Every structure is written in structure tokens, then in C-alpha cells.
């Protein structure tokens, strides 16, 4: 089967899928044809599904010797015409960081799924968490921007994975797909679309010899094997790709460009959902697994007459600053339920003038609706 035939065979199907599996199918719909990974709970389901499905659609699955090799192979495949991805959890995500920076520096579009579990270190292997939010942003060294998305359901895991590939291709940047053990393992109804009705961003490739690493904010790519003898390096380079590790200008020009291409498009990349924000005294902000009980708590609090709105972040990085600033002006206090000790809450603090309170929970069990409801009632 080729990719088109394979995707036609899945058209309009309704399945009962884990968030992990839905993410994998989303990748296949996005045209992913290369996966390299290494097993780890709670992300292994993605590798298992890809190993089963990719050969059917004409793609390739490789289990590498570790996560460093996995992300390396992913980037090698990108420059050889692949749409590629890997999936891991905290320990593997930590190992990948050097080469994630390489992907930023070489502007290699790819998707890295991190199904977050409790850390640091091996932590609670089988328990979900949201402790990698800041690592997704700052895990690799040096100045860089990052795109990270976080779904809250199986269906969104599917849909958002397509967006993850689209953004990575459009901005020529790695995209971190921040799942968590809860959403990754939840099992829910997912409806597949018709591939012909989907908006898939096709890689911008130049057939003529052009500068692949500069000259415009997001230059088109030239892939290996096109006879252009391109030079791809993670060292500081000129717009033609050749190393220049000594001039201040070369570094300044390159790094500011790869920074600005993301940050100046912040609002275009920012996906979020708002509820009850036109009539609120307080605001809850959450994302991923923690957003589910938060939504429940918001409904319950409103039933009790407490005017609270809800902002659910879908894009975590670049941080959706404008919506936070705007809503911050209209609320007395912001509550941020998250399964860590306050990572997004401290980011929000930077952009609002009202008090921001983290409603944190760690240990691998998600917040209950009552826990959040009671916490907020007691602290308004």
C-alpha cells in the first residue's frame, strides 16, 4: 500500500483509542513516514503502533539503541526527504536534548513526543505528570525558541499531531508534543477525518540553488540527493550553510533569525480555548490532563455562583502571552492547576499584574474536580 491508499482505508473511521495511539494515527495522517525510537513507559504504545502501521503506508520504523540515536536518526531522515518523529518520556527526553538543539540550529522540521511521567530521574515510571513543561522550552543549551503543544483528549491528540507536523514544517523547527501519562493512556472515542479534506502543510523545497540557512526569515529547504551538495551543520553557519564559528555577526544573525521566526509569529502559533471569560471575577488556567478536572471545577464553581472563567492552553510554547495579559486585566486572581510544582503558573506571573496561584499536585494521580473546587473556594 502507499500512503494515500493506506489513509483512504482509515477514512471516517471511529475508533476507541488511547491518547498515545491517537497521536500516532495523527502522525500518519500528517504524512509521517519515519519513526525512530526507544521503548519507555508511558510512550511505548506510540512506537508499537508505528512499528505496526508504518510499513503498511510505505514508511519506516526503527528501534534505535537509545534516545540520542533516535533523535539523530530522525534528523538524518528529515534531510533525506522524510517526515519524521520520535516519542519518549522524561528520561529519554533528557537524553535527546543535545540533538533537539541541533534540530533548532539546523532548522530541521520534526516532532518529538514527550509523554510526561513523574520525575526527576526514573521517578514514577507508570504515573503521569506535567513536569517537563520548562524542559521542553529550555532543555537544550543556548538561545533558541521552541514550539510545544499539549492535548487534553484522545481526539485532540490526533488533531493536534497534524498541527504539530504542520507547524514544524512551516517554521522549520522541532515541535515538542507534550502528552502526559494520563492523556496518553486514557481511552476515548476518536473520529478520523478524510485525508483529502485535511490541511497538510507541504515542505517548502527549492529546486534551485538558494541559501537554505538564511537570506529570508524561513528559507525553503533543499534535501540530500537533489544534486545541490548542501552542507548542514549544528555549528554556527552562514546562510549558505558553511561553518563560520568565529564571527560575531554570523552567530548574531543566525540565532536572532531562528529566534524571531517563532517569537514574531507567537499569536499565529498560539492555540487556546476560553470559557466564561466575558463574565468572570476569577480565572482558571490549565492544560493537558490537569485541564480536565479544572473544567469540571469551573462548572461546579459557577453553579455555586462563583464567577470564574477558564483558559485552556493548547500551545504552551511560544507562550500565549497576549491572551494571558488581556485576561489578567479582568480578573482578581488566577488559579493554575497543573501536575507539577508550578511551571506554567510562574510563566503567567511574568505577564499579569494580578495574583497567580499554583494549584499543584504531584505523585502521579491527577487532581479531582472536588480538590480544585475546594481549593479555589477556599482561596478566593
Site residues for another protein per CB under 8 A: 1-2, 34, 36, 55-56, 58, 60, 62, 64-66, 68-70, 72-82, 84, 98-99, 102, 224-225, 227-235, 242-243
Nearer to another protein, 232 or 323 (CB): 232
Nearer to another protein, 79 or 287 (CB): 79
Nearer to another protein, 116 or 168 (CB): 168
Q: How far apart are CA 242 and CA 230, in angstroms?
A: 9
Is residue 85 within 8 Å of 111, Cβ to Cβ?
yes
Q: Whats the size of the chain, residue-wise?
A: 380
| CB of 60 vs another protein, minimal distance in Å | 5
**CA of 294: how far to CAs of 42, 79, 252, 370, in Å?**
23, 42, 42, 10
Pairing mode, strands 14-18 and 187-191: antiparallel
| CB of 56 vs another protein, minimal distance in Å | 5
Nearer to another protein, 123 or 234 (CB): 234
Nearer to another protein, 69 or 254 (CB): 69
SS (H, E, C) 253-287: HHHHHHHHHHHCCHHHHCCEEEECCCCCCEEEEEC
| CB of 223 vs another protein, minimal distance in Å | 9
| CB of 266 vs another protein, minimal distance in Å | 29
Nearer to another protein, 101 or 193 (CB): 101
| CB of 53 vs another protein, minimal distance in Å | 10
Nearer to another protein, 143 or 370 (CB): 143
| CB of 33 vs another protein, minimal distance in Å | 8
Nearer to another protein, 37 or 288 (CB): 37
Cell reading at 35 = 519513526
Is residue 167 within 8 Å of 148, Cβ to Cβ?
no
| CB of 225 vs another protein, minimal distance in Å | 5
Q: How far apart are CA 41 and CA 198, in angstroms?
A: 31
| CB of 39 vs another protein, minimal distance in Å | 15
Largest CA distance in the chain: 68
Question: Kind and range of the H or E element at 357?
Answer: strand 356-360
Q: Which of 27, 95, 34 is CA-nearest to residue 65? A: 95
Helix (H, G, I), strand (E, B) or coil at 337: strand
CA-only gyration radius of the chain, Å? 21
Amino acid at each position: 500500500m502507499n500512503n494515500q491508499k493506506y489513509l483512504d482505508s482509515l477514512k471516517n473511521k471511529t475508533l476507541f483509542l488511547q491518547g498515545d495511539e491517537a497521536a500516532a494515527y495523527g502522525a500518519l495522517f500528517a504524512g509521517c513516514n519515519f519513526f525512530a525510537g526507544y521503548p519507555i513507559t508511558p510512550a511505548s504504545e506510540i512506537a508499537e503502533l508505528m512499528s505496526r502501521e508504518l510499513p503498511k503506508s510505505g514508511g519506516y520504523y526503527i528501534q534505535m539503541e537509545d534516545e540520542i540515536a533516535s533523535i539523530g536518526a530522525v534528523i538524518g531522515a528529515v534531510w533525506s526527504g522524510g517526515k519524521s518523529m520520535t516519542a519518549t518520556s522524561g528520561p529519554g527526553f533528557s537524553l535527546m536534548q543535545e540533538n533537539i538543539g541541533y534540530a533548532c540550529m539546523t532548522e530541521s522540521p520534526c516532532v518529538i513526543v514527550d509523554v510526561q511521567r513523574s520525575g526527576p530521574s526514573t521517578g514514577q515510571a507508570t504515573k503521569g505528570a506535567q513536569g517537563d513543561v520548562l524542559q521542553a522550552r529550555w532543555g537544550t543549551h543556548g538561545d533558541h525558541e521552541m514550539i510545544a503543544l499539549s492535548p487534553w483528549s484522545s481526539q485532540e491528540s490526533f488533531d493536534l499531531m497534524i498541527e504539530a507536523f504542520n507547524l514544524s514544517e512551516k517554521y522549520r523547527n522541532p515541535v515538542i508534543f507534550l502528552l502526559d501519562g494520563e492523556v496518553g493512556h486514557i481511552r476515548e472515542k476518536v473520529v478520523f477525518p478524510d485525508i483529502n479534506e485535511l490541511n497538510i502543510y507541504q515542505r517548502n523545497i527549492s529546486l534551485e540553488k538558494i541559501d537554505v540557512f538564511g537570506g529570508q526569515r524561513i528559507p525553503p529547504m533543499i534535501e540530500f540527493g537533489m544534486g545541490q551538495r548542501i552542507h548542514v551543520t549544528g555549528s554556527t553557519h552562514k546562510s549558505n550553510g558553511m561553518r563560520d564559528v568565529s564571527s560575531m555577526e554570523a552567530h548574531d544573525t543566525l540565532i536572532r533569525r531562528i529566534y524571531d521566526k517563532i517569537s514574531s509569529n507567537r499569536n499565529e502559533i498560539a492555540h487556546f480555548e476560553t470559557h466564561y471569560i466575558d463574565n468572570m471575577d476569577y480565572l482558571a488556567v490549565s492544560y493537558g490532563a490537569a485541564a480536565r478536572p479544572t473544567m469540571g471545577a469551573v462548572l461546579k464553581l459557577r453553579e455555586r455562583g462563583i464567577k470564574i472563567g477558564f483558559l485552556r492552553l493548547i500551545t504552551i510554547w511560544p507562550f500565549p502571552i497576549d491572551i494571558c495579559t488581556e485576561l489578567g486585566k479582568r480578573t482578581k486572581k488566577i488559579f493554575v492547576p497543573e501536575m507539577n510544582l508550578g511551571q506554567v503558573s510562574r510563566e503567567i506571573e511574568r505577564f499579569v499584574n494580578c495574583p497567580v496561584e499554583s494549584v499543584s499536585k504531584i505523585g502521579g494521580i491527577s487532581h479531582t474536580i472536588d480538590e480544585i473546587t475546594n481549593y479555589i473556594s477556599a482561596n478566593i
